[in-house]
Amino acid sequence: MTNDALNPDNARAVMKSIRRIAHAIDARSKRIGRETGLTIPQIVVLQAVADQGALTTAAISKQADLSPATTVTILDKLEAKGLIERSRSLEDRRKVRAMLTEAGLQTLSSAPSLFADGFAADFSAFSAIEQEAIVTSFIRVADLLDPGADEVEAEVRPPQ
């Protein structure tokens, strides 16, 4: 890697792309909120619990890439809606595990895709190498924007 100066045109193109992505995510988030009454982070937490079974708050936080405080707030809201149940571990009373309720399973199964319509089909049209390059590029940009998240990002990085 060289230490060439930042090309202003490239920097503007990256920023414009980030703004487009942020706008698309915001629009999708509003649509999902209207359709489900849930936010994208709430759906991500539900999905984490569904994927991994009964999880501790720390494990959910790590899986969903959210701060522990945000995760607790989301879990409180999901529990109030009857979508999850929390119980204390019998072995260690400090540990609280979250599990999906039947209503949570139904809500998750009927939730729309977090991506815009057609994204999965369009993305799957790329070769595996292209998909990996895109994922790697997104992770690198995320690392540049949020350098403190290295530990969490390392778990989702594709093999090099």
Q: Which residue has the tokens 């809606």?
A: 81
Q: Are residues 132 and 107 in the same domain?
A: no
Decide: 122 and 145 in contact? Cβ < 8 Å: no
Decide: 45 and 64 in contact? Cβ < 8 Å: yes
Mean pLDDT (the chain) is 85
Q: Are residues 38 and 74 in the same domain?
A: yes
- Containing domain of residue 155, as a range? 126-160
Structural domain includes residue 151: yes
Structural domain includes residue 27: yes
The pTM of the full predicted model, rounded to 2 decimals, is: 0.74
Q: What is the CATH number of the domain that holds 82?
A: 1.10.10.10
Q: Give the pLDDT of residue 2.
A: 54
DSSP label at residue 93: T
Q: Are residues 90 and 131 in the same domain?
A: no
Q: Are residues 56 and 12 in the same domain?
A: yes
Q: Give the pLDDT of residue 44.
A: 93
Q: Are residues 47 and 80 in the same domain?
A: yes
Q: What would the pLDDT profile of 96-147 be if each residue is shown by its tens digit?
A: 888 999 999 999 999 888 887 788 899 999 999 999 999 999 999 988 888 8
Structural domain includes residue 1: no
The domain total for the chain is 2
Structural domain includes residue 91: yes
